[in-house]
């Protein structure tokens, strides 16, 4: 719940959203906040955390009730994304699993695939990941080199991926691959690999040493003549992968924007608490006019981020979101959110640079928000096309 703005309520928030917010806040402060340092040392969350998320009903928020989901709107996901950040979590791969990859499966899987996978996704039995980025490609998804060549009833997949969130725990992996390299974007398909111990040719590479989000299991993945059944193709035909990715990017960017909003608010809350407790020259830090004015400005910045993101979430719920508007939400939330966290570190002095403090972990974790899900520069390019 918002500590900075206790009376704040987005236009899309119903009583159900508010109840979910209370439930998620309580769950994450119990099951995620206390474990951040241990998860960072282990470079992964506990596998059981995913089952706890499922038991708490936090993995199928806008997935169909027939498979165990809540059947809610995107606002349910926005609420949980924000509460994760407010709980100082930078380890969970929930955003990748639930509002992003879970929705790929729900949108593009056929009835048989949904019957196989959806209940496991919602319960936490199956952790999701998506393999887009490759060592030589970033935002340019048309340039992927991973290939999926049909051989009878299988695809034979070869290639490598990097920066894959949930790379350690993933049980279902959506792979972006070229089924017809001669067709450019029209030759890309999405194929789901069931990454159990019996899958030959699949290798989880090294855990990547990131600047922040140390508890997030981010890995390299390798495919060497890996055979995946043709029936695991997402969509009715090959060659639709690039367009499926583009259709889902607005959702991904809004989920990240919601996290950015929560991170910015959490940082300001921490700064206010600290400046009220820490003394210098015989009085609390907040007693100095410069600090009060700086915090006042930061509180206003957070409100501007929240209202921007909430406007775009409402647009998504109403079915009138477009790529440029979603990109504006991500651009503003990421850029301003990183700046807010950075300025909050200053109040803590040397302690703000220590990873044992939530503000230090937030500082290290926030920077990537301007990169993944499309860089800020890509967001500006997309927005510029609407001018």
Which residues are tagged catalytic?
252
Contact 207/215 with Cβ under 8 angstroms? no
Please enumerate in sequence order all residues whose Cβ is within 8 A of that of 271, keeping only pairs 6 or more positions apart, or say none. Answer: 295, 298, 344, 347, 348, 359
Two structure tokens written together for 275: 């400046």
In the structure encoding, which two tokens stand for residue 222, read together?
Answer: 């390798």
Report the distance separating Cα 93 and Cα 171, nearest Å.
13
At residue 90, the 3 state secondary structure works out as coil
Separation of CA 48 from chain center: 19
Beta carbons within 10 angstroms of residue 236's beta carbon: 8
Inter-residue contact 331 to 325 (CB < 8 Å)? no
Q: At a CB cut-off of 8 Å and minimum separation 6, what does 203 contact? A: 221, 222, 223, 224
């Amino acid at each position: 719940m918002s500590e900075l703005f206790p009376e704040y309520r987005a236009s899309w928030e119903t009583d159900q959203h508010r109840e979910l917010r209370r439930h998620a806040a309580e769950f994450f402060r119990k099951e995620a906040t206390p474990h951040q340092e241990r998860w960072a040392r282990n470079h992964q969350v506990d596998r059981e955390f995913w089952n706890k998320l499922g038991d708490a009903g936090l993995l199928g928020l806008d997935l169909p009730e027939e498979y165990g989901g809540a059947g809610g709107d995107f606002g349910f996901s926005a609420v949980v994304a924000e509460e994760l950040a407010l709980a100082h979590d930078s380890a969970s791969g929930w955003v990748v699993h639930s509002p992003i990859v879970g929705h790929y499966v729900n949108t593009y899987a056929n009835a048989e695939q949904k019957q196989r996978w959806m209940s496991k996704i919602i319960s936490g039995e199956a952790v999701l990941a998506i393999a887009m980025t490759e060592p030589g490609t970033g935002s340019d998804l048309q340039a992927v080199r991973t290939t999926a060549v049909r051989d009878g009833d299988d695809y034979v997949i070869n290639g490598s991926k990097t920066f894959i969130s949930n790379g350690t725990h993933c049980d279902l992996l959506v792979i972006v691959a070229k089924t017809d390299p001669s067709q450019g974007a029209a030759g890309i398909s999405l194929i789901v690999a069931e990454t159990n111990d019996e899958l030959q040719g699949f290798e989880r590479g090294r855990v990547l040493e990131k600047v922040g989000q140390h508890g997030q299991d981010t890995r390299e993945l390798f495919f060497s003549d890996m055979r995946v059944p043709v029936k695991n193709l997402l969509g009715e035909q090959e060659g639709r992968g690039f367009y499926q990715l583009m259709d889902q990017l607005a959702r991904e960017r809004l989920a990240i924007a919601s996290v950015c909003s929560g991170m910015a608010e959490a940082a300001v809350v921490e700064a206010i608490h600290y400046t009220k407790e820490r003394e210098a020259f015989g009085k609390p830090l907040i007693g100095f006019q410069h600090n009060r004015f700086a915090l006042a400005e930061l509180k206003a910045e957070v409100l501007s981020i929240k209202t921007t993101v909430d406007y775009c979430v409402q647009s998504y719920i109403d079915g009138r979101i477009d790529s440029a508007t979603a990109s504006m939400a991500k651009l503003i939330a990421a850029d301003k959110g990183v700046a807010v966290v950075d300025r909050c570190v200053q109040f803590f002095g040397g302690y703000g640079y220590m990873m044992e403090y939530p503000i230090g972990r937030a500082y290290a974790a926030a920077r990537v928000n301007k990169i993944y899900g499309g860089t800020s520069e890509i967001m500006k390019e997309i927005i510029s096309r609407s001018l």
